[in-house]
Structure 1
Amino acid sequence: MKLRIKNTLLHGVVTAVLASAVMIPSITQAADEPVRIAFVTHGQAGDSYWNALKKGMEDAAKETGAKVSYQAPEAFDPIAMSRMIDAAVAAKVNGLVVSVPDAAALQKSIKAADASGIPVIVVDSGEGDVQKVGAKFYVGSAAEYEAGKLAGERYKAAGVKNPICLNHEVGNVAIDDRCRGFKDGMGGNAPVVAMTMDPTDITSRVGAYLASHPDVDGILATSSSVANVLIVDLRKKGTLTKYKFGSFDVSPELLDGVAKGDVFFALDAQQYMMGYLPVVMLNNQAKYGLLPLNNVYTGPLFVSTKADAEKVLTLSKQGYR
């Protein structure tokens, strides 16, 4: 009887251990082989926002020894992104990091990566689509809509009555949500002015709108690249201080403006960590089967005081913010 009980208990322990072992990710990467990680985002070349993310990616690659690549279309193009993801899957990378500005266009390719056993981390945009596209989790600024709403509430509290929201990527859910949240934070009054990332297009569209709407008293940019162009343009015209001017993301130009007092705020997403953390995480997953279970939020942080702006400005000039 005692022997039977012991055998039963032993069987139960072994069964439990085996069951738990099934939950541990398989580890196939040899110790002497570099982990290969591919980034595919909608970030365009020369954009200071994405340059900080790439610096984080490159720094993490040096520290971990991982072999990391970065690809993005020359212009906003989710279809081109899907092809780049397909190519990374075909190359059998160990991990994939993607932004998801358009889940409908990207989910087939991302799900194919997951089906192939390639763990996918979403960065920057697509927090709400992580499960839909078959990714593991999200690393980036939390809830673009909520961040936009907080920005709107700040404008409203500052006495702004007629602001505009500048959307440089209409159709990108994250950017659309920023403007939607901003409008709601303002109580329903914040028209969207659409444009591309081309500097001439930015100045001409915004200039034309401001000329035909002289009651505008606030401007919210949804990209530091757009904000940088307008800061220079409006300063030349001597009209920057006419508006409460704020922007998502940070750049030396925006931070310098906050320090000088002619920029209302810059919203820091700390995108360096969006590049750095996924490399470390996917490297650990490939080597040791370790991977976080939940989203990791890197922002948003309002930079609105001279002291904060000067601190972040030093880091921004070094490419970290």
Structure 2
Amino acid sequence: MKKLLAAALGVCGLILTGAVAHAAERIVFVGHWSESDSFFNVIRNSAQLAATQMGVTVEFRNPPGGDLSQMARLIDQAIASKPNGIISTVPDEKIVDDPLSNAVASGIPVVIVNSGSADIARKIGALRYIGQAEYEAGKAAGEKAKAAGVKSFVCVNHFYQHPASHRRCQGFADALGVKLGAQDMDSGTDPNDIVARTAAFLKAHPDTQAILTLGPTGADPVIRWVKDQGAADKYFFATFDLSQAIVGAMKEGMIKVAVDQQPFIQGYGAVGILTDYVRFGVLQANDVYSGPGLITKNNLDQVLALAGKYR
């Protein structure tokens, strides 16, 4: 019995030792979203799910109110804390290029997600990029609008300072065959401002046929406003990403298409790539393009139950 007990305790010791080693692995995730951005919740949920399943710790850090000027400081703080890895978005290369390059130089593996590109990841020295091609995503939505006869639109741009946002609007414009100018409208992030500025644009441009929003931050208040105006059938409404409001409007036929960059893959995949690299020294061969995918009323039922959480 004493020998069996000793053996059992030895096995338990090995298990506990392995668990402690895994628990000590810490990843810092620096994103550009504000806390109120529902899109961020999907990436956060998926990253946390991966962390729980893989036995690592993920710390989420983002600038209050989405102020990009603070991202460099957050990355510097993450480096100083000496994590096992850093996941970061690249909403503006000028702001985060140097601090992320410094992280790589200090021996901290980095994965770029969501905003940025494979080229930027290689320049920084990051392991991999996970995200969608933004111009192609905007163009895919624009092609749907063109097929419906749309020739004019407004792009409700709630993250105007991010280069990726303009690539989305440009792709949509190019698909329609129109020049992009004032349609790329800085809506701000406050719901009241978004509605006021969108309403002002549509009043000044009464022939506008389509509304393109770049995510739930812009889509949710515009959906409510359009419904209040009794104009649910007036515009070809396209958007990026999903929320409960977007799903509801799509079920009603108000929103015609949503561009799904599958943020679950971004958060979950980034944690997986870093964990595999840190623990086992293995790295998949390619960057991951999580989108664009297009959601319409025809394939909506498949994502209904997970919208806002994992989709």
| Cross-structure match for 2:267 | 275
The answer to whether the 8 A contact 1:101-1:125 is kept is yes
User: CA separation of 1:122/1:214 partners in 2, compared to 1, >3 Å: closer, same or farther?
Assistant: same
2:220, 2:179 → 1: CA distance? Answer: 24
1:30, 1:314 → 2: CA distance? Answer: 35
The answer to whether the 8 A contact 2:166-2:184 is kept is no
- Pair 1:135 & 2:126 matched: yes
| Cross-structure match for 1:54 | 44
The 3-state SS of whatever aligns with 1:161 is: coil
Residue range with higher mean Cα deviation, 92-101 or 75-84: 75-84
Shift of 1:80: 0.6
The 3-state SS of whatever aligns with 1:264 is: strand
2:58 to 68, 76, 81: 68
Shift of 1:240: 2.3
The 3-state SS of whatever aligns with 2:66 is: coil
1:68, 1:251 → 2: CA distance? Answer: 24
| Cross-structure match for 1:15 | none
1:88, 1:293 → 2: CA distance? Answer: 27
2:156, 2:22 → 1: CA distance? Answer: 49
Shift of 1:78: 2.8
TM-score w.r.t. length of structure 2? 0.89
| Cross-structure match for 1:312 | 303
2:249 to 228, 252, 257: 257
The 3-state SS of whatever aligns with 2:255 is: coil
The answer to whether the 8 A contact 1:119-1:136 is kept is yes
User: CA separation of 1:272/1:32 partners in 2, compared to 1, >3 Å: closer, same or farther?
Assistant: closer
Shift of 1:91: 0.6
Shift of 1:33: 4.8
TM-score w.r.t. length of structure 1? 0.87
2:87, 2:163 → 1: CA distance? Answer: 18
Larger radius of gyration: 1
- Which amino acid is the alignment partner of residue 78 of structure 1? L
The answer to whether the 8 A contact 2:26-2:85 is kept is yes
The 3-state SS of whatever aligns with 1:240 is: coil
2:157 to 150, 167, 182: 167
- Which amino acid is the alignment partner of residue 85 of structure 2? G
The answer to whether the 8 A contact 2:157-2:218 is kept is no
User: CA separation of 1:38/1:234 partners in 2, compared to 1, >3 Å: closer, same or farther?
Assistant: same
1:129, 1:180 → 2: CA distance? Answer: 20
1:87 to 58, 61, 77: 77
RMSD, aligned CA: 1.6
- Pair 1:97 & 2:52 matched: no
Dislocated runs of 4+, deviation >4 Å? none
1:246, 1:189 → 2: CA distance? Answer: 18
| Cross-structure match for 1:235 | 227
Shift of 1:112: 0.6
1:214 to 192, 200, 206: 206
| 1:44-84 alpha-carbon deviations (Å, 9 max, x no partner) | 11212110000001111111110110011123333311111
| 1:180-234 alpha-carbon deviations (Å, 9 max, x no partner) | 1111111124521111110010000001111121101100111122101111111
Shift of 1:32: 5.2
| Cross-structure match for 2:6 | none
1:224 to 197, 203, 216: 216
Give 5+ residue unaligned stretches, structure 2: 1-18
1:52, 1:279 → 2: CA distance? Answer: 14
Shift of 1:293: 3.0
Shift of 1:311: 2.0
| Cross-structure match for 2:7 | none
Give 5+ residue unaligned stretches, structure 1: 1-28
- Pair 1:148 & 2:148 matched: no
1:294, 1:184 → 2: CA distance? Answer: 29
1:271, 1:145 → 2: CA distance? Answer: 17
